[in-house]
């Protein structure tokens, strides 16, 4: 069982409020090492400098949307195995199918609860301590 505190995470969303909500939920779960990026371009730059264990990314963003960020991560061997959870405001079947094709590990529909986020993390990493 991995410790939640050991999961180094990047939260990517163009809305500061949503980044703060995700951060607060992650902290309640026990995740301590949390970075933030306002868009996919900034996230990719950050990951190429300092790889992390998990990206939680919104789908709709300027400068590089979540699906494009996922594709870019999967195309860069040093970070290609980074776990990726897509955060979306819509339960769009086509989006989810495209994300699965590109290697998304899971997805979470907004609005979400801390319990739902924990469930998604455990689906990716196994039971957390």
Q: What is the pLDDT of residues 8-32, one digit of tens each?
A: 999 999 999 999 999 999 999 999 9
pLDDT of residue 88: 83
pTM for this prediction: 0.95
State percent of the chain over pLDDT 90. 87
Average pLDDT over every residue of 85-110: 87
What residue has token string 């899971």? 106
Average pLDDT over every residue of 72-79: 96
The secondary structure of residue 104, as a DSSP letter, is -
pLDDT of residue 43: 98
Give the pLDDT band of residue 6 (cuts 50, 70, 90). very high
Q: How many CB atoms lie within 10 A of CB 91?
A: 10
Beta bridge partners of 29: none
pLDDT of residue 126: 95
Instruction: Report whether pLDDT(75) > 90.
Output: yes
Q: What is the pLDDT of residues 42-60, one digit of tens each?
A: 999 999 999 999 999 999 9
CA dihedral over 6, 44, 77, 119, signed as positive or negative: positive
Instruction: Report whether pLDDT(1) > 70.
Output: no
């Amino acid at each position: 069982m991995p410790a939640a505190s050991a999961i180094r995470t990047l939260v990517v969303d163009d809305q500061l409020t949503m980044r703060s909500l995700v951060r607060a939920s992650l902290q309640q779960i026990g995740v301590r090492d949390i970075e933030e990026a306002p868009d996919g371009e900034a996230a990719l730059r950050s990951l190429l400098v300092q790889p992390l264990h998990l990206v939680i990314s919104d789908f709709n963003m300027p400068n590089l949307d979540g699906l494009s960020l996922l594709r870019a991560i999967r195309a860069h061997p040093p970070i290609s195995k980074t776990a990726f959870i897509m955060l979306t405001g819509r339960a769009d079947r086509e989006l989810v199918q495209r994300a699965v094709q590109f290697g998304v590990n899971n997805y979470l529909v907004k609005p979400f609860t801390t319990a739902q986020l924990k469930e998604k993390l455990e689906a990716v990493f196994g039971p957390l301590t």
